[in-house]
Chains A and B, each alone.
Chain A
Amino acid sequence: GAGVSQSPRYKVAKRGQDVALRCDPISGHVSLFWYQQALGQGPEFLTYFQNEAQLDKSGLPSDRFFAERPEGSVSTLKIQRTQQEDSAVYLCASSFMKKANTGELFFGEGSRLTVL
């Protein structure tokens, strides 16, 4: 498709389960971001990839969160041993620009994670 695609759109997990969220960015986009959006809040930065290199992971809340982009296109955000506070919408965004502070970001529709 032409836009950023995320799957699954909805995920319900029992506390302690591992989950994996997938992002297909726009073809050719160099930069890829993951954001976490809690209910009623703005998105918060998690991590950033430039091609396959994870250049910034300072926003990951704990070592239970792990992201990869092995071939510089599709990215996966993995959350191990999910906790209730992990419940949020996880947004993926891509940009054709490196760093992307000046360019517009193209966002996917998000993956809504609910941890019971």
Chain B
Amino acid sequence: AQKVTQAQTEISVVEKEDVTLDCVYETRDTTYYLFWYKQPPSGELVFLIRRNSFDEQNEISGRYSWNFQKSTSSFNFTITASQVVDSAVYFCALSVPPGYSSASKIIFGSGTRLSIRP
């Protein structure tokens, strides 16, 4: 079975601090994709990044960086020099290749609520 665990329910930091959101996943598939989505107060989930299981290179995009480690089944997300606008709920997610007639069911973790205090 596939599962995504985000153990941190809520995190609160002061603006400009660095913060890391943890994500641990479980799957028996060798081919899979990992995602991070951001959900601001308005409600819509916004796609941030996708990694496939064969690419363990870390990625940096501006103040955001992602650390993918297959050995520990983790896909952690770090925000450097956090800003108030980063306040949102962040979801880690996992998908596996679909069957012939089925969709890929993207499985979401329970989310981490991040609050950045000015």
Binding site for B on A (CB under 8 A): 3-4, 31, 33, 40-45, 48, 50, 55-56, 58-59, 89, 91, 93, 99-110
A44–B108 CB distance below 8 A: yes
B104–A100 CB distance below 8 A: yes
B33–A102 CB distance below 8 A: yes
- The tally of residues in B whose CB lies under 8 Å from a CB in A reads 29
Within the complex, the shortest CB–CB distance from A107 to chain B, in Å, comes to: 4
Cβ contacts B26-46/A at 8 Å (1 or 0 each): 000000010101000011111
Within the complex, the shortest CB–CB distance from A3 to chain B, in Å, comes to: 8
Provide the bound-state CA to CA distance between A49 and B107, in Å. Answer: 17
B50 proximal to A (CB < 8 A): yes
Within the complex, the shortest CB–CB distance from A9 to chain B, in Å, comes to: 8
A101–B108 CB distance below 8 A: no
Among B47, B96, B103, B105, the one with the most A-chain Cβ atoms within 10 Å of its Cβ is B103
List chain B residues, Cβ under 8 A from A93. Answer: 45
B103–A110 CB distance below 8 A: no
Option from B42, B47, B96, B111 in Cβ contact (under 8 Å) with A42 = B111
30 contacts between A and B (CB under 8 A): A33-B106, A40-B110, A40-B111, A41-B111, A42-B4, A42-B93, A42-B108, A42-B111, A45-B103, A45-B105, A48-B103, A50-B103, A55-B103, A59-B105, A91-B43, A91-B44, A91-B45, A99-B97, A99-B104, A100-B104, A101-B96, A101-B103, A101-B106, A102-B50, A102-B95, A104-B35, A105-B47, A106-B47, A109-B44, A110-B43
Shortest Cβ-Cβ A-B pairs, 10 listed: A101-B104, A42-B108, A48-B103, A104-B47, A107-B45, A109-B43, A101-B95, A56-B102, A45-B105, A56-B103
Tell me how many residue pairs across A and B have CB atoms closer than 8 Å: 81
B77 proximal to A (CB < 8 A): no
10 further A-B contacts with Cβ under 8 Å, apart from A56-B101, A107-B46, are A33-B103, A42-B110, A44-B108, A50-B103, A58-B102, A93-B45, A99-B104, A100-B103, A108-B44, A109-B44
